[in-house]
Amino acid sequence: MRFSKGNDALGTKNRGNACESSLCTLCRADCKGKCETWLSSMVGRKLLYPRSFGLVTAGANNTTHVGVSYNSLRIQGYAYGSAGLTGDLTNNPDDCIFP
């Protein structure tokens, strides 16, 4: 099985052959590349929602040496009826606390 060196949905490239985690196998502190790890450290959450999130669907290359299984599925869900936000917090995704 071959893994692509680039992801056109995110606009990222790896210098070497990417492993299943998409981390470049040639990762160095002085790298000026555009792998997914490098790009996520620069733009943060924007990498999670590429190109008009909600209007398009981008597939992921979640295959392994044994093929595709249930761990390859990514289900987007919502927590309806959740409670517990204090008065000083909002439901804005930039206003989060991770205990």
pLDDT tens digit string along 19-75?
666 566 666 777 766 766 667 777 766 666 656 656 655 555 666 666 666 666 666
pLDDT number for residue 72:
60
The pLDDT of 1-16, averaged and rounded, is 64
Per domain, the residue ranges of the chain are 1-52
pLDDT number for residue 98:
57
Task: Please give the angle made by the CA atoms of 88, 49 and 42, to the nearest 5 degrees.
Answer: 80
pLDDT number for residue 90:
74
Residue type at 7 in one-letter notation: N
| CA separation for the pair 37, 34 (Å, rounded) | 8
pLDDT number for residue 30:
75
Has this prediction a pTM greater than 0.75?
no
| H helical segments located in the chain | 36-43
Backbone angles phi and psi of 29, in degrees to 5: -65, -30
